[in-house]
Amino acid sequence: MKIVSTVEELRIALPTNQTIGFVPTMGYLHEGHMSLVENARRENDVVVMSIFVNPTQFGPNEDLDRYPRDFERDEKLARDAGVDVLFYPTTETMYPLDMARVTVHHGADVLCGASRPGHFDGVLTIVSKLFNLVQPTRAYFGLKDAQQVALIEGYVRDYFVPVEIRRCPIIREETGLAKSSRNVYLSDVETVEASRIFSALTMAREALDTGQQVDEVKRQLTERLNEIPNSQIDYVELVDYPTLGAVSSDSTELLLAVAIQFERARLIDNVIWKKG
Ligand code: PAF
């Protein structure tokens, strides 16, 4: 595995005439990231991973400074997973002048975008820079960040970026808790309680299967999530997917998405429901 940190080194390390599967990450790798690498390996000649904690997607009062980082551990995991090129740039490399950024036009005013203003502008800005540098054939994103996936797909379509976006399923603990780098902030008790998020989402999906109305499903889901002790609901939403607009009679896929604040961790999770 080649480890590179400058644009020049990356350009030299990238193959020509081979397909590139790209896995962008912010590090502190877990099984969710590993499954993205597995998919990328299967479908491409070469796998490139980036590790960069992107400052522009964190708000002023968010956890940029304490976001978990462990490059030595990540490097070993990436190597063992079969990553060919690991791009580990500095902020100065990724934001040399910081003169231009991408702005989301639609879909950033709901779900995480509503509680984290500017977050998705930061995500699309860094993803756009990384796509330009790596020029991947395919790029792999986990559906735990379903809003991120929808906005990246929209960006790629609107800007005619020649990359195929591959949606990958959420990887969960046996308890149902979605794997996340931020799970390290949970206490043992919170880790147990947090598994109730997925049970509540599963029940909501089943309620949709039985034909219950969206408002009623949302009410019951909110009630169940409110029962999780020492936590607070940030949002509970059912939206059309991947447009992220309001659910209508034409909707064929719904995103049931929630964000729950524990003492030190804000967790997001979701399920996608497809019309019978
Ligand atoms: O999903 C993430 O880890 C980040 O949002 C991404 C896509 C690597 C951009 O910083």
CATH number of 253's domain: 3.30.1300.10
Ligand 1 centroid vs 26 CA: distance in angstroms? Answer: 6
Question: Is the CB of residue 32 below 6 angstroms from any atom belonging to ligand 1?
Answer: no
The DSSP output letter for 132 is H
Ligand 1 atom nearest the C-alpha of 24 is: 8
* Domain containing residue 235: 181-274
Indicate if 32 and 152 belong to the same structural domain. Answer: yes
Task: Write out pLDDT tens, residues 62-103.
Answer: 989 999 999 999 999 999 999 999 999 999 999 999 999 999
Ligand 1 atom nearest the C-alpha of 130 is: 9
Task: Write out pLDDT tens, residues 107-152.
Answer: 999 999 999 999 999 999 999 999 999 999 999 999 999 999 999 9
Final residue of a domain: which of 147, 168, 189? 168
More confident residue, 91 or 276: 91
Please tell me the residue having the least CA distance from ligand 1 atom 2: 25
**Neighbouring C-alpha atoms within 13 Å toward the C-beta of 182:** 17
pTM of the model as a whole: 0.96
**Looking at residue 276, what is its pLDDT?**
82
Please tell me the residue having the least CA distance from ligand 1 atom 6: 25
- The answer to whether position 174 is within a domain reads no
Question: Is the CB of residue 44 below 6 angstroms from any atom belonging to ligand 1?
Answer: no
CA distance 7 to 255: 37
Q: Which residues, listed in sequence order, are joined to residue 51 by a DSSP beta bridge?
A: 25
Indicate if 152 and 200 belong to the same structural domain. Answer: no
Both tokens of 56, joined, read: 């522009």
Q: What is the 3-state secondary structure (H, E, C) of 37-78?
A: HHHHHHHCCEEEEEECCCHHHCCCCCCCCCCCCCHHHHHHHH
* Angle at CA of residue 167, ends 222 and 61, nearest 5°: 55
Task: Write out pLDDT tens, residues 17-76.
Answer: 999 999 999 999 999 999 999 999 999 999 999 999 999 999 998 989 999 999 999 999
Confidence of residue 166 (pLDDT cuts 50, 70, 90): very high
Indicate if 160 and 194 belong to the same structural domain. Answer: no
Contacts of 238-241 with CB under 8 Å at 24 or more apart are 238/214, 239/110, 239/111, 241/146, 241/150, 241/272
Q: Which of 99-133 are b and which e, b meaning 16 or more Cβ less than 10 Å from the residue's Cβ?
A: eeebebeebbebbbbeebebbbbbbbbbbbbbbeb
Rg (CA), the chain: 19
Specify the number of domains making up the chain. Answer: 2
Both tokens of 180, joined, read: 């996340």
Please tell me the residue having the least CA distance from ligand 1 atom 3: 25
30, 33, 105, 119: which is the annotated catalytic residue? Answer: 33
CA distance 58 to 188: 26
Both tokens of 198, joined, read: 């997925």
Does 119 participate in catalysis according to the annotation? no
Indicate if 199 and 157 belong to the same structural domain. Answer: no
Indicate if 211 and 145 belong to the same structural domain. Answer: no
Ligand 1 centroid vs 220 CA: distance in angstroms? Answer: 31
Indicate if 127 and 253 belong to the same structural domain. Answer: no
Q: What is the 3-state secondary structure (H, E, C) of 149-168?
A: HHHHHHHHHHCCCCCEEEEE
Question: Is the CB of residue 123 below 6 angstroms from any atom belonging to ligand 1?
Answer: yes
Indicate if 153 and 187 belong to the same structural domain. Answer: no
Task: Write out pLDDT tens, residues 240-269.
Answer: 999 999 999 999 999 999 999 999 999 999
Indicate if 6 and 138 belong to the same structural domain. Answer: yes
Please tell me the residue having the least CA distance from ligand 1 atom 1: 25
Indicate if 79 and 108 belong to the same structural domain. Answer: yes
